[in-house]
Amino acid sequence: GQSYPGKPKIIRCRSLEKETFSCWWRPGSNGGLPTNYTLFYSKDSEEKICECPDYQTSGPNSCYFDKNHTDSWTSYNITVMATNEIGSNSSDPQYVDVSSIVKPDAPVNLSLERKASANTMYLWAKWSPPPLPDISSNSHVYHYELRLKHEEKEEWETISAGVQTQYKVSRLQAGMKYIIQVRCMLDVGEWSEWSSEKYIQIPNGGSPPEKPTIIKCRSPEKETFTCWWKPGSDGGHPTNYTLLYSKEGEEQVYECPDYRTAGPNSCYFDKKHTSFWTIYNITVRATNEMGSNVSDPHYVDVTYIVQPDPPVNVTLELKKPINRKPYLVLTWSPPPLADVRSGWLTLEYELRLKPEEGEEWETIFVGQQTQYKMFSLNPGKKYIVQIHCKPDHHGSWSEWTSEKYIQIPTDFRVKDMVVWIVVGVLSSLICLIMSWTMVLKGYRMIAFILPPVPGPKIKGIDTHLLETGKSEELLSALGCHGFPPTSDCEELLIEYLEVEDSEDQQLVPSHDNGHPSKNAKMIPKETDSDSGRGSCDSPSLLSEKCRECRTLPPILQTPDVRDVQESKGGKRSWETQCIASEEKIILLNSESTKSSTWPAAQLPTNQPPMFAYHSMIDAQKITLSATNVNIAPVLVGNEEKRQSQYPITETVHSDMEKQREMENLHSKTDQTAVQVKQNRSNDNSPFLHPKLMDYVEVHKVRQDEPAVLLKHKESSGKTDKYTVPGTSKEYTKVSTVVDHNILVLMPDSCIQHTSVSQEPAIETSPNLQQGQAEKNMSYCLTAPSECRRETSGSEYMDPSSFIPSFK
């Protein structure tokens, strides 16, 4: 059935911005027939009833009142009438007050941004006001309100945001997810609806990244370059890095053209982007959720950062030139990227070498050439060699090439080996032969090489006789009257005679008679000034020298040192030589002034030749006190002599100069001139003289014979040094003068000290030592000299004392 339409109902009226409003109604039933709806309104202040100006804008069943029809100060009475063919119906009237129906739309475009400042997180919320259909309408001032809540929680926190379209939300908890909405309101009316929800996750702590640092920038071939940076800590979040640079003189900032070619955390500038002789200002920025940070700027001029690659193609070649030692040639090529051919980049090379086990490298600078010759390598050893290069101007050295091993073949030539073998065989053969000869011919060989010390020249003791035990014969041979010594011998023994002989006397007695000993090198040739070589015992003379005469073999030959002395022409001091072997001519002070040798003595400074003082030691020295040995030992001291005074000595000197010889003065029992040296020519050496004097012990004095002086060795039986102070007696005193040419000396026991106790070679020759009291000793004593000194001059009737200057 058709009927008139049902009553429409006005559902709502709303104004978005107080300048327009719309009403919507809901139609009732339409009664089965098409229905027309009209809206009538009247303002409060007016009677007039108007119809809706616009049924379209707000959609179906709506009426839109635009600005012209809207009066926000009055209220409207609005009814809607539904009309169909049959009839019409009217809705209830609706009283609308525009101000009260204002409700804006919700704000739009809500955006949230996390920001960090000083380790606290806050949120920037931004939105836009609700859009209005009429763009030309005035900008309305909305009030906004935010609300947020934790995702899981129920309660909203509402924040009034004022009239700004952004708001900073702080006090957010880290690690939470938040929901945020915003709504707005005009000065009248209602709040809009809440905007759609916006979620935001607050990161779980962390911080913006640390400042990265630019490590280095390098160019391998002076055409491109690369920069590397080192990231700082990333603040707990994934961080992004960007490199920015600008060139000298330009403002513009560029970003790195290539982050990948050179690997992570690097930037590669290719040829297009590389300019030389300009300074680049490079920085790196690190960004993460919490923020960002920028490195310090790095300034670089590509010209100065060239570091080439290592050289390549390192090869070795062994060259063996003829007639020369083989050597090695090491060659290499420049790195492939470096453009050496155009001259743009010039490289210099350096190589280093060490033996495989060695510690230290030897570095050799090679320059611009690409080869090197090595001459000085040891064959058989293994070496390691490496090369690196650098540009010839500013730049840095490349890495070293990988190690290259060199092994020199041991060039063991067969020839060398053979030579060595032959040499070895020969020498061993020679050794064999020699040892064999030695064994077989032993003694002879030895004797040949090392001639034995000659036996005693003193004819005195005949060994055979000794062996046979016929003492009497023996002794008689010696000229002793009886053995053991008789008392008178004793007397004589202890007397030292110092005799100065006349010229005629032969100083060297021994050789006249023919020496039994082999060393008849007595002075046959010439008068030996040194004929008076007695034993070395004479303490005085042999002060220094005696020292040297330590180890004298039993048979001693005293070389004729005098010769030497004289040849020197200088003052020679005493040369006391207690020399065992011929060879051993000890020129003790050959050069030096004698004064040095004499501890206390001053050497005479005169030039007159001096006699060498020999401490003769006669190995055979028989200290047979009892025997009357017709030995004429002559002791000659080195002293300066006045030639005039000692004619004999002079002659002797001259002879001496010719040669030196060793002689045993004791050889002959002949008349012996006892020579006393003591040249006291000099004034200067007063005290020397006494020392220099040799004291010979007189065994026996016979009237018809010249005195025989023998060295007496106090120490009987001991072949030691004559060091026993107490026991040694020095015969320094003259007791009487006999026959005008013989001085009889007496012992002086003043020897307190032996200044120089030489180590006498108190070896007794095994042959001779036959229960003799004395052994052959040779020793030089200096003590006596000292002692002598002590004796007052008056007591001592020393010829030297006769000389006034001798004091």
Partner 1 sequence: CHTSGMLTPNGKEYAQKIPREELTHLILKLLQAWKEPLSHFNQHHQELPDDSLSKAKQISNMVHELKTGVEKVTEKMQSMGIISNSLNGMASSEAAGLSIGNEADMMSDSDFIHCFRRDSNKVQSYLKILKCRIMPENSC
Give strand ranges (E) for 66-212. Answer: 75-83, 88-90, 94-97, 108-117, 120-128, 143-150, 157-162, 166-169, 177-185, 198-201
The stretch near partner 1 (CB under 8 A) out of 58-66, 342-350, 571-579, 687-695 is 342-350
Three-state DSSP at 112 gives strand
Instruction: Tell me which residue of 449, 443, 452 sits closest to 765, measured CA to CA.
Output: 452
Whole-angstrom distance, CA of residue 25 vs CA of residue 530: 171
Determine if 136 is a binding residue for partner 1 (CB under 8 A).
Answer: no
Find the shortest distance in angstroms from Cβ 298 to partner 1: 17
Kindly state the helix (H) or strand (E) to which residue 799 belongs, with its residue range: helix 799-802
Determine if 275 is a binding residue for partner 1 (CB under 8 A).
Answer: yes
Three-state DSSP at 807 gives coil
Determine if 278 is a binding residue for partner 1 (CB under 8 A).
Answer: yes
Closer residue to partner 1 in complex, CB, 28/395? 395
Determine if 340 is a binding residue for partner 1 (CB under 8 A).
Answer: yes
Determine if 249 is a binding residue for partner 1 (CB under 8 A).
Answer: yes
Determine if 512 is a binding residue for partner 1 (CB under 8 A).
Answer: no
Find the shortest distance in angstroms from Cβ 303 to partner 1: 6
Determine if 274 is a binding residue for partner 1 (CB under 8 A).
Answer: yes
Determine if 331 is a binding residue for partner 1 (CB under 8 A).
Answer: no
Count Cβ atoms within 10 A of the Cβ of residue 797 and give its class: 0-12 exposed, 13-18 middle, 19 or more buried.
Answer: buried
Find the shortest distance in angstroms from Cβ 316 to partner 1: 23
Cβ pair 664, 673 in contact under 8 A: no
Binding mask 354-383 for partner 1 (x = CB under 8 A): --------------x---------------
The stretch near partner 1 (CB under 8 A) out of 61-69, 206-214, 271-279, 799-807 is 271-279
Closer residue to partner 1 in complex, CB, 325/393? 393
Find the shortest distance in angstroms from Cβ 296 to partner 1: 20
The stretch near partner 1 (CB under 8 A) out of 186-194, 336-344, 473-481, 710-718 is 336-344
Determine if 415 is a binding residue for partner 1 (CB under 8 A).
Answer: no
Determine if 222 is a binding residue for partner 1 (CB under 8 A).
Answer: yes
The stretch near partner 1 (CB under 8 A) out of 51-59, 276-284, 602-610, 725-733 is 276-284
Find the shortest distance in angstroms from Cβ 250 to partner 1: 12
Closer residue to partner 1 in complex, CB, 170/346? 346
Determine if 336 is a binding residue for partner 1 (CB under 8 A).
Answer: no
Binders of partner 1 in range 637-696 (CB under 8 A): none
Whole-angstrom distance, CA of residue 541 vs CA of residue 574: 7
Determine if 730 is a binding residue for partner 1 (CB under 8 A).
Answer: no
User: Which one of 341, 413, 415, 740 is in contact with partner 1 (CB under 8 A)?
Assistant: 341
Cβ pair 466, 770 in contact under 8 A: yes
User: Which one of 342, 376, 487, 792 is in contact with partner 1 (CB under 8 A)?
Assistant: 342
Determine if 346 is a binding residue for partner 1 (CB under 8 A).
Answer: yes
Binders of partner 1 in range 535-594 (CB under 8 A): none
Kindly state the helix (H) or strand (E) to which residue 783 belongs, with its residue range: helix 783-790
If one counts every other C-beta atom within 10 angstroms of the C-beta of residue 663, the result is: 32
Total site size for partner 1, rule CB under 8 A: 21
Q: Which residues contact 257 (CB under 8 A, 6 or more apart)?
A: 267, 268, 269, 270, 273
Closer residue to partner 1 in complex, CB, 368/468? 368
Q: Which residues contact 457 (CB under 8 A, 6 or more apart)?
A: 510, 515, 516, 517, 518, 519, 520, 618, 620, 663, 664, 666, 667
Determine if 409 is a binding residue for partner 1 (CB under 8 A).
Answer: no
Find the shortest distance in angstroms from Cβ 257 to partner 1: 16
Closer residue to partner 1 in complex, CB, 168/393? 393
Whole-angstrom distance, CA of residue 76 vs CA of residue 98: 8
Find the shortest distance in angstroms from Cβ 231 to partner 1: 31
User: Which one of 270, 296, 339, 403 is in contact with partner 1 (CB under 8 A)?
Assistant: 339
Residue type, 716: S
Whole-angstrom distance, CA of residue 122 vs CA of residue 170: 4
Cβ pair 387, 397 in contact under 8 A: no
User: Which one of 394, 441, 525, 807 is in contact with partner 1 (CB under 8 A)?
Assistant: 394
Closer residue to partner 1 in complex, CB, 332/483? 332
Q: Which residues contact 444 (CB under 8 A, 6 or more apart)?
A: none
Find the shortest distance in angstroms from Cβ 364 to partner 1: 20
Closer residue to partner 1 in complex, CB, 394/753? 394
Closer residue to partner 1 in complex, CB, 12/247? 247
Find the shortest distance in angstroms from Cβ 271 to partner 1: 7
Per DSSP, the residues of 537-595 read T-TTTTSHHHHHT-S--SS--B--HHHHHHHHTS---------SSSS----TTSSS-HH
Binders of partner 1 in range 76-105 (CB under 8 A): none
- 482-490's contacts with Cβ under 8 Å and 24+ in sequence apart are 482/626, 483/624, 483/626, 483/627, 484/626, 485/624, 485/625, 485/626, 485/627, 486/626, 488/700, 489/624, 489/625, 489/626, 489/627, 489/628, 489/699, 489/700, 490/625, 490/626
Sheet holding 62-65, edge to edge: 9-14, 21-26, 62-65
- Name the token pair of 694: 């040799």
Instruction: Tell me which residue of 737, 786, 776 sits closest to 534, measured CA to CA.
Output: 776
User: Which one of 95, 124, 199, 344 is in contact with partner 1 (CB under 8 A)?
Assistant: 344
The stretch near partner 1 (CB under 8 A) out of 333-341, 410-418, 474-482, 746-754 is 333-341
Determine if 271 is a binding residue for partner 1 (CB under 8 A).
Answer: yes
Binders of partner 1 in range 297-316 (CB under 8 A): 301, 303
Determine if 276 is a binding residue for partner 1 (CB under 8 A).
Answer: yes
- Name the token pair of 179: 């929901």
Find the shortest distance in angstroms from Cβ 302 to partner 1: 9
Find the shortest distance in angstroms from Cβ 305 to partner 1: 12
Find the shortest distance in angstroms from Cβ 269 to partner 1: 12
The stretch near partner 1 (CB under 8 A) out of 85-93, 205-213, 270-278, 348-356 is 270-278
Closer residue to partner 1 in complex, CB, 345/585? 345
Please state the separation of Cα 215 from the chain's center in Å: 34
Q: Any alpha helices (H) in 366-506, and if so which ranges?
A: 414-449, 463-468, 471-478, 487-493
Give strand ranges (E) for 289-375. Answer: 291-294, 298-301, 312-319, 327-333, 347-355, 362-367, 371-374
Find the shortest distance in angstroms from Cβ 370 to partner 1: 10
Determine if 160 is a binding residue for partner 1 (CB under 8 A).
Answer: no
Find the shortest distance in angstroms from Cβ 244 to partner 1: 21
Per DSSP, the residues of 21-64 read EEEEEE----TTS--EEEEEEEETT---EEE-S-SSTT-TTEEE
Closer residue to partner 1 in complex, CB, 222/641? 222
Q: Which residues contact 397 (CB under 8 A, 6 or more apart)?
A: 307, 350, 388, 389, 390
The stretch near partner 1 (CB under 8 A) out of 226-234, 267-275, 322-330, 581-589 is 267-275
Cβ pair 130, 139 in contact under 8 A: no
Find the shortest distance in angstroms from Cβ 248 to partner 1: 9
Find the shortest distance in angstroms from Cβ 282 to partner 1: 18
Determine if 223 is a binding residue for partner 1 (CB under 8 A).
Answer: yes
Whole-angstrom distance, CA of residue 216 vs CA of residue 229: 7
Backbone φ, ψ for residue 38 (5° rounding): -130, 145
- Name the token pair of 88: 């019409």
Interface ranges with partner 1 (CB under 8 A): 222-223, 249, 271, 274-278, 301, 303, 339-344, 346, 368, 393-394
